[in-house]
Amino acid sequence: MKLYIRVGELKRGLLHDLSKYSWTEFSKWVKYYNEKHSPITECKKDKGYSEAWLHHKGRNKHHFEYWVDILAPNQTPIIPYKYVAEMLCDKMAAGIVYQGKNWTKEYQLSHWEEKRKNYSK
């Protein structure tokens, strides 16, 4: 919430990730819970995909994957500020939670760069 307040998006912080309480997502978060990274990663290792992730990114506009359509003429749409702000808060908060006292801005940047490289493969 501290990050959402800093970017002026308190409402987005309060409404953030409500879809995680749906059975499709919640049941997988419980089954694949891991303290070091997202349960999505564990599920993908196990099944090769994550139904919870497909459900989640399709309902939450703060994930850039919500906006991406590789077959669309405009593959890089303009994402409204409130969703970009929420996206950045979400990613930073996840890094802080998973890294704990080891979190640094440099870690966060390298994590994003690695994700970008993997996404473009």
**Mean pLDDT of the region 87-103:** 88
Residues belonging to the chain: 121
Instruction: State pLDDT tens for residues 3-37.
Output: 888 888 888 888 888 999 999 999 998 999 887 77
Kind and range of the H or E run holding 68: none
How does pLDDT run across 39-83, given as a tens digit for each residue?
Answer: 888 999 999 999 999 999 999 999 988 998 888 888 778 999 999
Q: What is the pLDDT of residue 9?
A: 86
The whole-number pLDDT of residue 119 equals 63
Whether residue 94 has pLDDT greater than 90: no
The CA distance from 53 to 86, in Å, is 17
How deeply is 54 buried, as exposed, middle or buried, from its count of CB atoms within 10 A (0-12, 13-18, 19+)? middle
pLDDT at residue 120 tops 70: no
Task: Looking at the chain, list the stretches that DSSP marks H as alpha helix, in order from N- to C-terminal side.
Answer: 2-6, 10-15, 23-31, 39-47, 51-57, 64-67, 81-99, 105-119
